[in-house]
Structure 1
Amino acid sequence: MEKRIFYLLYEMEKSSKIKKELGKDKILDNLYQQKISNLNNALNNCNDMQCLANALQVSDSENVAIDNALGKLYHQSKNIQSFVHNNIRASHRYELSNSLSDSLLLIRAWNEEAEGMNHIVNAYLLHKDLIYPTIDSAKYYSQSKGYFDTIKAFVENEISFPKKKKLNRFFFKPLPDIDLAILQLNGRNEAGRFEPVPSINIPAFKKVKSVDWNRYQYSSILVFGSGPGKETISFSKENQMRCDSAVALFKKGLAPFLIVSGGFAHPFMTHHCEAIEMRNYMVNKCGIPSNAVIIEPYARHTTTNIRNANRILIEHHFPLNKLVLGVSSKSHIDYITGEQFIKIFHRDIGFVPFTEMQRLSKCEASYLPAASSMQINSKEPLDP
């Protein structure tokens, strides 16, 4: 989960060279000590969740100090310069900052992940700033004394652990560990459920290497998931209709792969993954070869159906100059090709991950994927 939500912090912590460079910086070490002191004060004095949440956030003044320290360290350290260029920039996870210099990209990546840490605190301790609270919110009531006491115990454990184990201090610790523990407590581990790679997709990814793309009009057929309204139903009639339409197009030879997209989204805290149910139906009921169906099991909204499918295409070297054929219901295609959809993309993920979106029929649309799809969104920890 940490790698998907906080990629920069994960890579920093994984590298012994970078940990050493950051660990000897006096400004960052002072910030770490001050943060631990603030958290200890909060444990001793806070009587409500708002007070504790304030201590768990990265403040504006802390963020400015970290920005300045990282900028200076970048210019002083060849190890950090190499790390940013070869690990962080090359990952494409900060694609929207691709035009920035390496030093500014580092600072921007930190800022995005600091915003992500603050968002987890707001969303899962205070029930604030969620765009889709009916499906994305915490399992526990934010004002519950039991929940408050449990979060305090998490904080106390995390700030005492490095001292007990005599571990090196790291400037942003223990915040992301506490944030991940908050998500786990609430059953919100969706971001890590299929990592590192859904094994069910491996046969399809092997097949990609041998495809004669000249035979196909589209690189793939993207099927937008539709979750059932009740936990007792694993596969909705709407989903079946979308799958049937997509299967018919696949059998016409329009594309070599079907991508079924949808995570554990509807209803709230469901145990059913839309993509898994769609794949099972296509393979077991419709007779589609298992190596022709790719699951995208993370998306919770239409915006990320498209973004996440694009990531698969980019990472597995599909031809990006070939259109993707999207299949859904009429009302959903109305929404996807409507004027408001672009605004929703900017609101939800901050960019538009496609070009040349056009409606083809009542239930079909096509588009070209954009490289910006690789940009992670730390402010959406269930599907970053």
Structure 2
Amino acid sequence: MINTIKIWLLVLGTCLSNVTWGQEFHSDRSPQDWVIAKNYYASFILSQDSVLTGQLLSLPEVQNLLKKRHSRYLNNTKCADVACFVDAFKWKQQEIDLLVNIFVANTKSQKGQSFRNRLMDSQTYGLSHGKKADEYLARALRQDLEAMNYVIDVYAGAKKPNYPRIDSISFNITSKSYLHLLKDVAQDVLKDVQQPKLAFYESLWTAVRLLEVNERWDAAQLEPLMQLENKKAYEAIRRTDFDRYPYSLLLTLGAGPDQYGQPISPGGMLRSRMAARSYFDGLAPFIIVSGGRVHPYKTPYIEALEMKKYLMQVLGVPEEAILIDPHARHTTTNLRNTARILLTYGFPKDKFAIVNSSVPHIDAVQNMTDRCMRELGYVPYELGKRISDVIMEFKPRIESLTIDPDEPLDP
């Protein structure tokens, strides 16, 4: 079976295009490719296998379902309100149930087993240990289809996301022009549905297009990190003697600016200074700064990138010692995304990392288990001891590889 870490690297390093899903990574792939791969991984790896996908979508019961689904999608041309568009764009629950059952029943061949194994080894839909392949596949497919519906509800229908102040829809849905925008989204999607079986992708492509017009392709920003912003540090990891350091990595939590147009907040500066001191004191050979394009609403600045600039230009930390996580939008995902990097970039598995921030922020980290369970459904880290008021030990847990389906900006 394929190694878990290699699978997650494949998520990071393999992309797909809108209609032709590619096997090899190319640095000029579009942001759309990254959005799809990160949010809907089961759909991604299934669609990479054109033979298996062709077999599944050619089944008579699937063709019948897709014919009816396509007809409903075409009905958006008659829509006079937002609710009508949302209904046309989304999967119906009975369609999801039927597709899941059919796909599970028809992927038991040798070809299907390869897909199932790859999916289970990825751990992207929770830990697979002790799970049956049918159960894991059903969960993954159902999550993908329902996650597409979630994006449509939020970014077409204006349903409140988990954090409305930073993640809500960009449009006034009561304006007449907004109905024209939804119609244009639908027409764009239909340009790619050039044969009946491609109706299977209508909700997927609609969700991705809605994220685009809402300027919410955050999951794709600065990718591929390993070949761009994180390249020098990623290469340096392989040359590092970690036995020389008490800790493998120092995670510095961000502090989003309050003012629009402010690249880095005072808190971000001070936490960066804490990190630089720890780095120059030899606590860890690498710093990771974590924070996306979050505060204030629709800021053009990526917090981690601005903190990296500050560490280099003001504090003199070399670029090869700095990694960035430009996607995290919350403290829970600061830790989760860093855990993913610790697992996939070649850091030693038996060594603690450390996290630094303000005293109340580290207090929150120390008591964040319930919040992680509520927002992620798991705890992505194992805490160690608090070595100072502002620094705490942690290790990554394999659960951190699990996709969060209701956070499409940073799944």
Match of 1:243 in 2: 272
Equivalent pair of 1:23/1:168 in contact (CA under 8 Å): no
C-alpha change, 1:171 and 1:19, in structure 2 (3 Å) is farther
Note if 1:84 corresponds to 2:112.
Answer: no
**Partners of 2:294 and 2:135 in 1: how far apart?**
35
**Partners of 2:384 and 2:143 in 1: how far apart?**
28
Equivalent pair of 2:222/2:229 in contact (CA under 8 Å): no
Match of 1:95 in 2: 126
C-alpha change, 1:97 and 1:29, in structure 2 (3 Å) is farther
- The code of the aligned residue for 1:52 comes to F
Shift of 1:98: 4.3
Note if 1:32 corresponds to 2:61.
Answer: no
- The code of the aligned residue for 2:58 comes to K
- The code of the aligned residue for 1:15 comes to D
Q: What is the TM-score of this pair, normalised by structure 1? A: 0.93
- The code of the aligned residue for 1:182 comes to L
**Partners of 1:31 and 1:380 in 2: how far apart?**
29
C-alpha change, 1:118 and 1:279, in structure 2 (3 Å) is same
Match of 1:195 in 2: 223
Match of 1:50 in 2: 83
Correspondence list, 1:229-308, <5 A: 229-308=258-337
Moved more, 299-308 or 281-290: 281-290
**Partners of 1:73 and 1:260 in 2: how far apart?**
45
Moved more, 150-159 or 296-305: 150-159
Shift of 1:89: 2.4
Give the total of aligned pairs: 376
Match of 1:104 in 2: 135
Match of 1:221 among 243, 246, 250: 250
Shift of 1:160: 5.0
**Partners of 1:94 and 1:181 in 2: how far apart?**
24
Cα deviation code 1:174-226 (max 9, x no counterpart):
11101110010011111112223251211111111122121111110000011
**Partners of 2:213 and 2:166 in 1: how far apart?**
16
Note if 1:332 corresponds to 2:332.
Answer: no
C-alpha change, 1:144 and 1:320, in structure 2 (3 Å) is farther
Note if 1:345 corresponds to 2:372.
Answer: yes
Equivalent pair of 2:76/2:84 in contact (CA under 8 Å): yes
Moved more, 282-291 or 143-152: 143-152
Match of 2:382 in 1: 355
**Partners of 1:313 and 1:383 in 2: how far apart?**
17
Match of 1:175 in 2: 203
Match of 1:309 in 2: 338
Note if 1:21 corresponds to 2:55.
Answer: yes
**Partners of 2:273 and 2:383 in 1: how far apart?**
26
- The code of the aligned residue for 1:80 comes to G
Q: What is the TM-score of this pair, normalised by structure 2? A: 0.87
Shift of 1:101: 2.1
Equivalent pair of 1:22/1:170 in contact (CA under 8 Å): no
- The code of the aligned residue for 1:383 comes to D
Match of 2:214 in 1: 186
Match of 2:395 in 1: 368
- The code of the aligned residue for 1:59 comes to K
**Partners of 1:324 and 1:154 in 2: how far apart?**
45
Shift of 1:280: 0.7
Shift of 1:168: 6.0
Give the 3-state SS of the residue equivalent to 1:355 in structure 2: strand
Match of 1:68 among 91, 97, 101: 101
**Partners of 1:233 and 1:158 in 2: how far apart?**
37
**Partners of 1:350 and 1:141 in 2: how far apart?**
32
**Partners of 1:380 and 1:22 in 2: how far apart?**
29
**Partners of 1:241 and 1:273 in 2: how far apart?**
17
CA RMSD of superposed structures (Å): 1.6
Cα deviation code 1:85-137 (max 9, x no counterpart):
13x22333223344322222211111111221111012112222411110111
Note if 1:146 corresponds to 2:146.
Answer: no
Task: Give structure 1 stretches of 5+ with no counterpart.
Answer: none
**Percent identical across equivalent pairs?**
31
